[in-house]
């Protein structure tokens, strides 16, 4: 089944150190999930709310994208993923960006001791409005010009 165009993943993982994503005047959120349909749905929701949404299929890709991103305000990531889980990714991202806010999402019970500073947990299933509230608390406000564009 082909996803509608607005749900198609943005291939942020194709950016290299010489080809960086465009600088946006909008707060930027990096979505990390190994399920393309879930990632695309959440990205579309954030874009409709006025955010710039980058996408990664796993923690290792997220670290590469974060390193290339000119602006990154929030990371929203699934916890259970192949190659590198959300906790490992969060720890690695905080080494280079200690003030980066990370929202981890999971349908499984989470040991709160694994959650470090600057990390919040959102339990699946959740209304998209809950995710938007958490992102809005963590990221700078969306410029009014971005909402009217």
CA–CA dist 141, 66 (Å, integer): 20
What is the per-residue pLDDT for 19? 34
Would you say how long the chain is, in residues?
149
Name the residue among 95, 37, 25 with its Cα closest to residue 66: 95
Q: State the DSSP H helix or E strand holding residue 30, giving kind and residue range, or none if neither.
A: strand 28-32
Q: Which conformational region is residue 25 in: left (phi greater than 0), alpha (psi within -120 to 50 degrees), or beta?
A: alpha
What is the per-residue pLDDT for 25? 75
Render pLDDT for 59-117 as a digit per residue (tens, 0 to 9).
Answer: 999 999 999 998 999 999 999 998 898 999 999 999 999 999 999 998 887 776 767 77
Beta-bridge partners for 72: none
Residue 149 in tokens:
């564009």
What is the per-residue pLDDT for 15? 45
- Contact between residue 35 and residue 12 where contact means Cβ atoms under 8 Å apart: no
Please, what are the domains in the chain? 23-136 (3.40.50.2300)
pTM of the model: 0.78
CA–CA dist 132, 26 (Å, integer): 15
DSSP strands (E only) in 48-137: 52-56, 74-78, 101-106, 119-123
């Amino acid at each position: 089944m082909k996803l509608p165009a607005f749900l198609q993943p943005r291939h942020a993982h194709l950016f290299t150190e010489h080809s960086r994503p465009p600088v946006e005047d909008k707060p930027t959120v990096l979505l990390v999930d190994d399920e393309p349909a879930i990632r695309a749905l959440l990205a579309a929701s954030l874009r409709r709310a006025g955010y710039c949404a980058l996408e990664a299929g796993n923690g290792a890709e997220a670290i590469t994208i974060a390193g290339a991103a000119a602006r990154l305000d929030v990371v929203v990531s699934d916890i259970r993923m192949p190659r590198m889980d959300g906790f490992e990714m969060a720890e690695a991202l905080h080494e280079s960006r200690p003030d980066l806010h990370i929202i981890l999402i999971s349908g499984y019970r989470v040991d709160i001791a694994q959650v470090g500073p600057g990390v919040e947990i959102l339990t699946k299933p959740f209304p998209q409005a809950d995710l938007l509230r958490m992102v809005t608390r963590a990221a700078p406000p969306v410029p009014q010009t971005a909402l009217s564009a």
